Each structure stands twice: as structure tokens, then as C-alpha cells.
């Protein structure tokens, strides 16, 4: 049995297979997941698990060089945006319209669906390298 890190075997497998610039998505419970993209559904009930705790756990295991969010989060979910700002430097955060964000999810290796139920609590993480 694993002693530390991500215990969810589906997430651990996706993270182990990521290469430089590959992407994964952490999504709220309402984001549509494109056909053909692996869905890892963590949602138990509204709010559980939340976006914040899921993102924190992923960031402990994944080297991230860039993050993409929807422009709409700035106005519609400032609390979540504040958390994201704490986790990433300004140069690491790219924002696009929500419609463009949804298109970009089509290229993701996986979408991790949380129980989060606040607006635009979604992020695309772009894998970096550890050397």
C-alpha cells in the first residue's frame, strides 16, 4: 500500500503518465466533460470533495508550469481566484473565456470531477518538468 501522495489509483496513474505540457483538469461538478476524455469522478455530494482540497493534493504530486482558468472566475468567484493566486505566480496563470476553456478540456489527459458547486471553479494544469 502507498504510504504517501495521491492514494486514488486513477489519479496516481494519470499523473505518472504525464509528460511535459500534457494537461489535466480539476473541475467543479457542473463542467461538461468532453467525450473521449478520461473522467475521474471524485464527487460524493454537493461540495465534497471541494476544489481547494483537490487542487492542493494534486499540486503536492504534480510539477505544474502553467495553469489555465476562465476569465469569468475573476468576477464570479473571487474567493476561489484568491486561492489560485496564492498557489501560482502571475506568470503561471493564463485566462481564457469559459467557452475557450471548455474547448481546451478536449485535449486533457483526464478531468478530475469534484463536488465543488461554486461558479467557474475549474483549472487546467499544464505539466512541467522536474529538471
Is residue 126 annotated as part of the catalytic site, yes or no?
no
Give the C-alpha distances (Å, rounded to integers) separating 3 from 6, 7, 19, 80, 81. Answer: 9, 8, 24, 30, 32
The catalytic residue among 10, 17, 20, 126 is 20
CB count in 10 Å sphere of residue 45: 9
Full 3-state SS string of 60-71: HHCCEEEEEEEC
- Alpha-carbon gap, residue 7 to 82, rounded angstroms: 27
Catalytically annotated residues: 20
Amino acid at each position: 500500500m502507498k504510504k504517501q501522495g495521491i492514494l486514488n489509483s486513477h489519479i496516481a496513474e494519470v499523473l505518472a503518465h504525464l509528460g511535459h505540457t500534457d494537461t489535466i483538469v480539476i473541475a467543479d461538478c457542473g463542467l461538461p466533460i468532453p467525450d473521449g476524455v478520461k473522467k475521474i469522478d471524485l464527487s460524493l455530494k454537493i461540495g465534497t470533495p471541494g476544489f481547494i482540497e483537490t487542487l492542493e493534493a494534486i499540486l503536492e504530486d504534480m510539477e505544474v508550469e502553467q495553469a489555465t482558468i476562465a476569465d469569468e472566475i475573476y468576477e464570479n468567484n473571487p474567493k476561489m481566484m484568491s486561492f489560485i493566486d496564492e498557489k501560482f505566480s502571475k506568470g503561471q496563470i493564463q485566462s481564457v473565456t469559459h467557452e475557450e476553456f471548455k474547448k481546451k478540456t478536449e485535449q486533457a489527459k483526464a478531468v478530475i470531477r469534484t463536488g465543488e458547486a461554486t461558479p467557474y471553479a475549474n483549472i487546467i494544469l499544464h505539466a512541467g518538468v522536474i529538471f
